[in-house]
Amino acid sequence: MRCCRGETLGEESLDRFKIVVLVLLACCTNASFAGEHPSLVLTKAGVAEIRQQLGNVPLFDQTLARVQAEVDAEIASGIETPVPKDFSGGYTHERHKRNFLLLPKAGALYQILEDERYAVYVRDMLLAYAEMYPTLPLHPQTRSYARGKLFWQCLNDANWLLYAAQGYDAIYEWLTPAQREQLETDLFRPFADFLSMGNPQFFNRIHNHSTWGNAAVGMIGLVMEDDALVERALYGLAEDGLDFDSKDDDGGFIKQAGQAAGFLANLNEPFSPDGYYTEGPYYQRYAMYPFLMFGQGLNNARPELGILEYRDGVLLKAIDALLNLSDADGEFFPLNDAQKGMSIYTQSLVTAVDIAYHAGEQDPRLLSIAARQGSVTLDDAGFAVAMGLRDGKAAPYQQSSVNLTDGSDGDEGGVAVLRAADAAMTLVFKYAAQGLSHGHYDKLSMSLYERGNEVLQDYGLVRFVNIEQKGGGNYLPENSTWAKQSIAHNTLVQDQSSHFEGRYDVGSRHHSELRFFSADQPQVQVVSAEEANAYPGTIMQRTLAMIRDGDDTPPFLLDIMRAKANTPHQYDLPFWFMGQHLGVNTAMATLRLPTVLGEDSGYQHLYLEAEGSADERGVRFQWLNAGRFFTLTSATKAADKLMLVRLGANDPDFNLRRDAALIIRRDAEASTVFASTLEVHGSYSPVSELTVQPRGRVAAVEVIHDDIAYTAVAIVNKDGEQAIFVVANVEVNSEAEHRLVLNGNTYQWQGPFHYVASGASTHD
């Protein structure tokens, strides 16, 4: 564990830290906002300033008007608290969700506009829940490992309490003491106890689920000034008498004896020092809301804890990490379980950006993100952002190439993003840890984007979130049988078996290792990593280089995947391309009746539609997408097979997209190298029907050297000119000196790689 200064705490120091926190909590009457409401994310001082400036802060005023119209419509339609019965997407689920989203909005309107209609609405809704909650049974749907009462899982119940705490805080002083007593006795304390003591398998966990539970219990504890609840939120439940299974129903990790739990543990374990969250950006943006809301609440009500400075300010670093894990359109890269299309425009990221600006160093770059989002939160943080925009303080937020470590100590792999100028090409390279229960078996996988459009895709998840017709809006069976499997990703698959045999308990013990990351030279950016545990007896190395030969030429990607095994194996390297297949430079025999490619590990979902034999000339595969042309050029061997496959086999409920891929298959080799380039070029307009540069510049890719020390690849263009890329396989120190003779030419360089552009002179 780490203290608020970011220092690692041993067991003895941890005990002292807990004592200090307990003393601080016991002395909370001296805290800045003790006994004062609102005091979580909206404060009395903030409200006073907002009222003074109303009408003079455009983005805040616009947001306020939208929210007021929304809440007024709900007040006119009346309060509904139906008996819970539905999964996600069903009427009762969506109605209770709508209710909790309205509570803080109506509370903020009361505080800002001083209109008691909004306080009455919050009060009446909370009292309606207080009337139903004491006799409310567990939710009738039994799928979850931790069933809620209002919702089918405790996770959504925790959502409700976290939002309700904000609404309660906003009207706390307006309520009578009797009304507060009723709400706390019949609703809030039983609700907090149910989420925590009633469901330790949910609350005492390292996962985004328990983060919501911890934050919800902590937030209502702050409003009620209940130190015991705040302590429970920070540290989790005591271990005595708790009996946990080792996994939940989706394979997730649940706290075992002797392991830390609670909000601080969830700040320690899933986040790396760079702010990367091990479950991936989709779940990171979801978890950021409870992390930051409780963090901001603690920062206001218990500033002496220094929670936003905890672990060197990891919560605020996490927001910058998230912004860098999105494409040019603001959509998050779909690593691990992730719904495509989730973006920086989601409300959780509006909250995150506002709090990061307000509680951090008022980074002007965040204002440009807020301007894109077009909305702010109705609290102190949102007001500060709107004021900054009004006063012209915004600066551009320039996404850059970045390497984000994974693991609490930053030593469990990571995710690298290489970006060419003007978003012409963006590479995402995943060499991370398993990612808890939402992780996929895709070590050394990559995906590629061009100006926000997918070129080589990561599938994401198999789930139709909140669409009731598809499994109640929950994860579908194909998420495990397809989306998590290795063949679903752009990575190497051995013997038609997923990495770690698709076993969570094995995969969670291992991570890939970064070999080097170099983004200092805009003309050549390179990342390289190694995976030694996905297949016993096999070491995989992947080196990816984004290369721009000149300012007037678009960048291209060089991909070198090297496998070194003890015995011969079959290797499949898929490329999940997005768009319309245009052609391939070898004859492909189309199967009259597509056949299923395998029986398990994801292969049972693949139709083989066409196949052909490669030769030593290599393969050139072309497609069109979003008005751009793409060419994949790969070095192949005479015995290699090319397979065009399509997703959709053994999918009785049509849960899978009908995506297509090219697979290069290589049989009966122990050690081998796959080398490919991918070019983005030309354009096509369906309006003018004009085609520009429909063919790439690369004529061939050849592996010209491979041994224990070096791998060298030649990239030959259509004019016959040859570029050379050499990567060190062992010594990757940036200061290391290297020398290699290739075809009579001597290459000398310093560092882990060397690139000689086509037309450049070699040297001796």
Sheet holding 402-405, edge to edge: 402-405, 414-419, 426-431, 445-450, 453-456
Task: Read off the DSSP letter of residue 84.
Answer: P
Residue linked to tokens 């979801």: 286
Which residue blocks in 225-309 are alpha helix, DSSP H? 227-235, 263-268, 281-301
Asked if 588 and 644 count as a contact pair (C-beta separation under 8 A), the reply is yes
Number of Cα atoms under 13 Å in the Cβ half of residue 648? 13
- C-beta neighbour count of 761 within 10 angstroms: 6
Phi first, then psi, for residue 640 (nearest 5°) are -65, 150
Q: Report in angstroms the alpha-carbon separations of 229 from 172, 213, 261, 670, 713.
A: 18, 12, 14, 58, 61
Classify residue 72 by burial, with Cβ atoms within 10 Å: 0-12, 13-18, 19+: middle
Region class of 109: left (phi > 0), else alpha (psi between -120 and 50), else beta: alpha
**Which residue type sits at 294?**
F
Three-state DSSP state, 530: strand
Separation CA 562–CA 529 (nearest Å): 11
Query: What does the radius of gyration of the chain's CA atoms come to, in whole angstroms?
Result: 28
The residue ranges of DSSP E strands in 445-537, in sequence order, are 445-450, 453-456, 493-494, 513-518, 524-531
How large is the angle between the packed helices 58-77 and 116-132, nearest 10 degrees? Answer: 50
Asked if 370 and 376 count as a contact pair (C-beta separation under 8 A), the reply is yes
User: Catalytic residues, which ones?
Assistant: 283, 438
Sheet holding 569-575, edge to edge: 493-494, 569-575, 660-669, 641-647, 606-613, 589-596
Token code pair at residue 118 = 């909004």
- Residue of 338, 281, 600 whose CA lies nearest to 462: 338
Residue linked to tokens 């991570």: 511
Separation CA 558–CA 94 (nearest Å): 47
Number of Cα atoms under 13 Å in the Cβ half of residue 608? 18
Residue linked to tokens 């920086």: 344
**Which residue type sits at 606?**
L
Separation CA 213–CA 400 (nearest Å): 34
**Which residue type sits at 287?**
A
Residue linked to tokens 């020398």: 739
